[in-house]
Structure 1
């Protein structure tokens, strides 16, 4: 159950590990990819429900689940519904109780605050401004949330595309954390 206040919970190491693993997986495919969505399930519980799963999972995932009951396995969701925006996609997603959390990976272009203040109001002009701005940064954002309110974000900048340079934190992208959490309600 989520906390009553707006302060994000400290992440469980399993969630941080899962989000970073998902981000590295997506990074292996290069840049300019689509939005990708993953269900997160507790590996130990999944193995208890389906012992044959041990033969289909990597041995290291099975060993990790035996060592840590909170270990998470990600399951990429294919055939996402057509959506006009990320917000529209998230509004169309819901998860059964057997899913313990969800993760999403999306690429965005960001600007420094001072540059954002000068962005034109017209959407077409704003897009042209954003794409031509010399200080723009392309980033890949991976966000994971759990039903219990835990969250973790991983952010990779295209300009510094290295696994060791991926930033991580519970609330790096609070709006996306909140939006993703609503899909679990």
Structure 2
């Protein structure tokens, strides 16, 4: 009896690969969704892809159709993956505020539009792209690319497995019956 491969160590690399891919398109992009499939299974099923895939990568991201406009959580709640998909990744551009700005957001928990307005108008806001990835077993990984300031050095990358717990949970739910 063979056991399923353990993709845990490969998940952060897959999240970075998706971030690199999306970054080539620049900023101001809508959310994007990717399926993560085992590279070995993909090559077995589609051998003609051998020249275009990294054979050392355990997981290969495959871009999915555009997500519908509107609430990302609602869009994700409608997704169900076939058994061949080992995990998934979503990218979303967000606004990051410094910790001192949290006080201004108090009381907006029930009004996301008001919170978004305050964040968009905050003088210390930074634009960022959040990449969240999960495996079927619930393992998560996140990459945050903070857009460079107009007078600053390049983009800043932050990797932390639980950077976006709510988004990771929404992705985990796409693997539930």
- The question of a shared fold, defined as TM-score above 0.5 by the shorter chain, is answered with yes
Contact 2:89 2:132 in 1 (8 A): yes
CA offset at residue 94 of structure 1? 1.1
Please name the residue that 1:151 is paired with: 140
What is the rounded CA distance, in whole Å, between the counterparts of 1:49 and 1:78 in structure 2?
A: 21
TM-score by length of 2: 0.82
Contact 2:93 2:127 in 1 (8 A): yes
Q: 2:32 aligns with which of 16, 30, 36?
A: 36
Q: 2:61 aligns with which of 54, 74, 78?
A: 74
What is the rounded CA distance, in whole Å, between the counterparts of 1:109 and 1:23 in structure 2?
A: 17
> For residues 8-23 of structure 1, what are the structure 2 equivalents within 5 Å?
12-23=8-19
Please name the residue that 2:82 is paired with: 96
Please name the residue that 1:136 is paired with: 125
Please name the residue that 1:68 is paired with: none
CA offset at residue 83 of structure 1? 4.4
CA offset at residue 126 of structure 1? 3.7
Higher fraction of helix: 1
For structure 2, the 5+ residue unaligned runs are: 1-6
What is the rounded CA distance, in whole Å, between the counterparts of 1:137 and 1:85 in structure 2?
A: 21
Higher relative contact order (CA 8 A, sep 6+): 1
User: In the alignment, is residue 54 of structure 1 matched against residue 50 of structure 2?
Assistant: yes
Number of equivalent positions: 164
Please name the residue that 1:176 is paired with: 167
What is the rounded CA distance, in whole Å, between the counterparts of 1:143 and 1:26 in structure 2?
A: 13
For structure 1, the 5+ residue unaligned runs are: 1-10, 66-70
Please name the residue that 1:8 is paired with: none
